[in-house]
Amino acid sequence: EEIKTTNFIHDIIDADLASGKRSEVVTRFPPEPNGYLHIGHAKAITLDFGTAEKYNGRCHLRFDDTNPEAEDIEYVNAIQADIKWLGFDWGEHLYWASNYFDTMYEYAVRLIKKGKAYVCELSSEAFKDYRGVPTRPGKEPPGRERSVEENLELFEKMKNGEFNDGACVLRARIDMTSPNLHLRDPAIYRIKRAHHHNTGDKWCIYPMYDFAHCIEDSIEGVTHSMCTMEFEVHRPLYDWILEELEVFQSRQYEFSKLNLTYIVLSKRRLLQLVNEGRVSGWDDPRMPTLCGMRRRGFTAEAIKKLCAIVGCTKFEGITEIEQFESIIRDDLNENSLRAMGVVDPIKVVIENYPDDLEEEFEVPNHPQKEECGVRKVPFSKELWVERTDYMDDAPNKFKGFTVGREVRLRSAYLVTCNEVVKDDEGNVVELRCTYDPETKGGSAPDGRKVRSTIHWLSAKHAIDAEVRLYDRLYTVENPLADKEKDFKDFINPKSLEVITAKLEPMLANVEPGVRYQFERVGYFCADLDHTPEKPVFNRTLTLRAPRKV
């Protein structure tokens, strides 16, 4: 179905195209390769690539690698894989901000020549006194009135490595009295001796984000540069730089971040979880990273649908995780095939079934989609069923075994439990049943009603699988709310429980990543660690949302 989404930037683009201000739409997604992408980035990706698609324009994938530290090729590869998994394609438009270092340097020189930039020896701490506070004008720092010639000479010396790291910066010469602190002569180049993955040791000066980003956009002809709200106050600087340089005028538009309850999104904090071993890695199925969510069994479609529903606005809101989970359940319910799995098995013995008989029953792969076909599931005298499907003296509404009641084994037979065997502690170990041979396939020729339909596995055919039951990573909606505490204090100690379950034999041979609904149990997917010899499944979500308490 068509989702109605709110997107104020599309309204702006419509107006730009109608007035002739723009004749095409060019966007970019600019990740810094210093971590893995998370669900927040999916919102930006959906906006950047989705907008280009909508207007038959193009979206560039640009690695924002102007900060030489913390960047790694591992992240570069993972980011590309995740964007592709979401279903987006940058075609030949893959760019590196570091390829523009020469142009950026040239542009800085251009500003100096116009009297619009100067070298400043104040430390960033000392400069704060000159910059001042928004309510009062700042003061002119020393060096602001230096001549163009002297600034050109000093900037060249900065580039040539004649000063120590941090000895001076290049500042834009804008307005020390502006109410916007970002316009009070911001630093645009700093000295930093650091090896860069692309440019090696060629540079010891690196551009600051605000100077670099608008120039990257302009060089690439980006028309609509979308970023998150915290950059709104930087926009006048973005515009000032491009206007002073007299280059292509890209424009920046800000939207609010995606926030979800029970989820912490910040690469810095996610890195802490990884480094401290709180999770197994960036792709741990409890992580809000795209690779973690993929491994958990979430679908790209569900993630994109969430982004479409939240839309693009300037309001800082928080989306309830239950809404996201319900989108995922709907998608999985519709699109994943069914299988039978028993997570907490008890034995069923069909006393009147021949000892050495084996049959196979055809079970539908999807109850609502005949086109998904059927599969054959082996049946024999001894079966596994779910412990929760038996109850002593069960009330009528209980859908399961109790002594004296007839139930349906899905697609197989009607069986009646005659006796329950318990161990010394009173735990059920076995149900002794009889079957009605006339009910083959699961329906009675005399049309008698059976209310319960139970999933089952033939004990001698079922495989053992490691099943990882995942739950939310935190116990509270907002682990960052309490400023006195560390977000990691709220990690859910029961966020992972590993069990051994019984599964249909065919599940040994599925590919990692394949998703199933284990009937009446939940949504599962084969883990990356899954092999036919050692099957491993992750629980994506329970079948239904747990009741809110």
Residues tagged in the binding site annotation for ATP: 32-34, 38-44, 228, 265-267
Considering only 30-38, 272-280, 334-342, 492-500, which stretch makes contact with ligand ATP by CB under 6 A?
A: 30-38
Shorter beta-carbon distance to ligand ATP: residue 84 or 544: 84
* Residue 274: CB minimum distance to Mg ion, A: 15
Structure token digits, residue 32: 């810094």
- Using CB under 6 A, which of 212, 237, 265, 433 touches ligand ATP? 265
Which contacts of 263-266 are long-range, i.e. CB under 8 A and separated by 24 or more positions? 263/39, 263/288, 263/321, 263/473, 263/474, 264/288, 264/474, 264/479, 264/480, 264/487, 265/38, 265/39, 265/40
Task: Count Cβ atoms below 10 Å from residue 381 Cβ, excluding itself.
Answer: 19
**Which listed residue (5, 198, 199, 266) binds ligand ATP by CB under 6 A?**
266
Minimum Å gap between C-beta 296 and ligand ATP is 19
- Please give the Cα distance from 361 to 146 (Å, whole number): 88
Q: Which stretch binds ligand ATP (CB under 6 A): 6-14, 173-181, 261-269, 527-535?
A: 261-269
CB of 51 to Mg ion, least distance (A): 19
Tell me whether residue 258 or residue 414 sits nearer to ligand ATP (CB atom): 258
Site track for ligand ATP across 40-69, x = CB under 6 A: xx-xx-------------------------
Whose Cβ is closer to ligand ATP: residue 257's or residue 472's? 257
CB atoms near residue 275 (< 10 Å): 8
Cβ-contact 259, 316 below 8 angstroms: yes
Residue 228 in contact with ligand ATP, rule: CB under 6 A: yes
Q: First CA to last CA across the chain, in angstroms?
A: 32
Return the DSSP state at 465. Answer: E
User: Which residues from 22-61 bind Mg ion, rule CB under 5 A?
Assistant: 32
287 binds ligand ATP (CB under 6 A): no
User: Would you say 206 or 524 has its CB closer to Mg ion?
Assistant: 206
For residue 314, CA distances in Å to 181, 222, 236, 378 come to: 22, 21, 18, 56
Binding residues: 32-34, 38-44, 64, 209, 228, 265-267
CA–CA distance, 120 with 58 (Å, rounded to integer): 40
Q: Binds 227, which of ligand ATP, Mg ion, none (CB < 5 to 8 A, cut-off by type)?
A: ligand ATP
Total binding residues toward ligand ATP, as defined by CB under 6 A: 15
> In the beta sheet, which residues pair with residue 338?
517
Closest by CA to 432, choosing from 356, 347, 345, is 347
Choose one: 37-45, 273-281, 375-383, 465-473; the region binding ligand ATP (CB under 6 A). Answer: 37-45
Specify the residue, 231 or 456, whose C-beta has the smaller distance to ligand ATP: 231
Tokens of 278: 């709180």
The number of residues that bind Mg ion (CB under 5 A) is 1
**CA 432 to chain CA mean position, Å:** 47
The H or E element that residue 120 is part of is strand 117-120
- Binding residues for L-glutamine are 64, 209
Closest CB to ligand ATP: residue number = 40
Output 258 or 385, the one with its CB closest to ligand ATP: 258
55 by DSSP, 3-state: which? coil
Among 110, 257, 399, 488, binds ligand ATP (CB under 6 A): 257
For the record, the structure tokens of 221 come out as: 């002809």
When CB distances are held under 5 to 8 angstroms depending on the partner's kind, the choice from Mg ion, ligand ATP, none that residue 31 binds is: ligand ATP
Q: Which does 196 bind (CB under 5 to 8 A by kind): ligand ATP, Mg ion, none?
A: none
Token pair 């660690």 in the structure block, residue: 529
Residue 258 binding ligand ATP, by CB under 6 A: yes
Q: In whole angstroms, what is the distance from residue 233 CA to residue 251 CA?
A: 14
Distance, C-alpha 408 to centroid of its chain: 41
Window 472 to 531, contacts with ligand ATP (CB under 6 A): none
Angle at 330 between CA 327 and CA 335, to 5 degrees: 125
In whole angstroms, how close is the CB of 264 to Mg ion at the nearest point? Answer: 13
Place of tokens 């002594």: 403
Backbone angles phi, psi at 168, to 5 degrees: -160, 165
297 binds, among Mg ion, ligand ATP, none (CB under 5 to 8 A by kind): none
**Contact footprint for ligand ATP (CB under 6 A):** 30-32, 40-41, 43-44, 227-228, 257-258, 265-268
**Contact footprint for Mg ion (CB under 5 A):** 32
